[in-house]
Amino acid sequence: MFDLDVNYLKGKKILDCPAGASSFTAELSKYGYNVVATNIFYDNDPDILKKKCKVELSKVMQALSKVEDMYIWKYFRAPAQLKECRMTTYLKFIKHYRREKGNRYIKSELTKFPFTDNEFSLILSSHFLFLYDDRLSYDFHKDSIQEML
């Protein structure tokens, strides 16, 4: 998603926020990268999160079925492939979260991190602020970006 060169990431401390159920931290940790994920729900039990992931994926696939013809099927060739990829991702996340909760997975709100200023060399945030632009206030967006900076 970010088109990052893994060599660029070496030696950097990376924060993924809000990371959600992504496998980014699990994947990079596997190769020795110093990466931390933060999200508001990282105080939950892994089994509860796994159930939530399953329910959310079902909702996404149901919503997608209504607009499938509007989707550009280049990266994913079909809905089944998309579903399989998302399921694989959240299962990798759950497995790693189970081991690293409290170490690499830290609960926090996007507008107020429990980290010191300049603790991270790189902060990544994918599509969260764009996805909820109509449901989260301007101040939330501004405060979130300021906190990341």
Centre a 10 Å sphere on the Cβ of residue 19 and count the other Cβ atoms it contains.
25
Residues 77-101 have a mean pLDDT of 97
State the DSSP string of 42-81.
TTS-HHHHHHHHHHHHHHHHHHHHHHGGGS--SSSSSHHH
pLDDT score recorded for residue 128? 84
pLDDT score recorded for residue 132? 80
pTM recorded for the entire structure = 0.89
Task: Write down the mean pLDDT value for the chain.
Answer: 94
| Residue of 123 and 126 predicted with greater confidence | 123
8 A C-beta contact, residue 54 and residue 86: no
Q: Is the dihedral of CA 51, 126, 1, 118 positive or negative?
A: negative
Residue percentage of the chain with pLDDT more than 70? 99
Q: Which two tokens stand for residue 80?
A: 């089944």
pLDDT score recorded for residue 148? 94
